[in-house]
Copies of this chain bind each other. A is one copy, B any other.
Amino acid sequence: MITVKHVAQAAGVSPGTVSNALTGKRPVSPKTRSRIFQAIEELGYKPNLLARSLVNRRSHTIAIVTSEVEQFGPARILSGIDEQAEELGYSLLLTLMRNPAEEDVEQTITNLVARGVDGIIWAVHQVGNNRRWFTAERRKELPPIAFVTMEPKPGMAIVNTDNRAGAKMAVQHLISRERRVIGHIAGPLDWWEARERLHGWRATLADAGLENSDDLLVKGNWSAESGEAGLRQLLERRPDMDGIFLGNDQMAIGALQAAHRLGYAIPGDLALVGFDNIPESRYFWPPLTTIHQGLFEIGRVALQTIHDAIEESGASGERHITIQPELIVRESS
């Protein structure tokens, strides 16, 4: 292995000077500078980033903790994070949590800190109380943390989609299509996003003077199965239903299938609006009207937020950033 010592020797100079030339933090005369770089070139020297991190207390590594990366949402966010990370010169340490509700937060974080990450992006979905571990006191001892998709809390850095606004757009769109009995298949209500969308559905109907009783609501679990079951249940309770707002696109595809099997015409008998705008949604039958979230943008912004916090070398102060969603109209409504 080629170290800074070898380079120093080859250039007839001390290791410290090589370091100075490399980092540029201290002046080095043009002559020796060029000798050093020539030696680096000849020897093919590559600095050892571990050693550098050790003394600098800066690893240029950011940890991202997430779950269900096989789903479109988390994956898209991850992609956005990566793009911004590359731009700012960070590497990414990835940790997947299979069971966010059960897993040991402390152990995960401890490992990351021991590895000297400069910051953490916590993109595990807020389910149940699994963020309760992050007390203000604990966070004081930790590198900056940015939370993705989580209920705003004072003193935390959080990046979100405006779920209520998205739900409002969806329901208003259905209303504009002359629908008057509009149901909702919600995600699991221990998820914050699901609650927000549900709230948006309810509030918008109330504002429009339309019914929003629990009769029109069924709880799913994000899966296509639950969308299918949910639709059947809703139609049984309310055969007069003429529009549905689905908590996500996966449930929408299940609901579409159920509607076909039951012989409902889409959008004639029943108009559907989803949430997420997964790539396939354009190819559902019929193509799905849905709410586009700027997930990639969320990822980028989350990383940028962490970066800013690191640069200020302060704990991540409070900053709540909300990305606005967008309505994508297709043939299902």
Which A residues are within 8 Å of any B CB, using their own CB?
46-51, 53-54, 59, 61, 64, 69-70, 72, 75-76, 78-79, 82-83, 86, 91-96, 98, 110-111, 113-116, 224, 228, 250, 253-254, 256-257, 260, 279-280, 282-285, 287
Of A61, A70, A110, chain B has the most CB atoms within 10 Å of the CB of A70
CA distance A284 to B64 in the complex (A): 33
Given known pairs A50-B53, A72-B70, the reply for A283 and B260 (CB within 8 Å) is no
State the CA gap A253–B286 with chains docked (Å): 12
- Taking a contact as CB atoms under 8 Å apart, the answer to whether B54 and A51 are in contact is yes
The reply to whether A70 and B75 contact each other, CB–CB distance below 8 Å, is yes
Residues in B with CB closer than 8 Å to A111 are: 49, 91
Q: Is the interface of A mostly helix, strand, loop or mixed?
A: helix
In the assembled complex, the Cα of A116 lies from the Cα of B52 at a distance in Å of: 12
Query: Are A82 and B59 in touch, CB under 8 angstroms?
Result: no
Residues in B with CB closer than 8 Å to A64 are: 94
Q: Is the CB of A93 within 8 A of B96?
A: no
Chosen A-B contacts, 14 in total, with CB atoms closer than 8 Å, are A49-B114, A50-B50, A50-B53, A51-B54, A61-B115, A78-B96, A86-B96, A91-B111, A93-B93, A224-B279, A224-B283, A228-B283, A253-B283, A257-B283
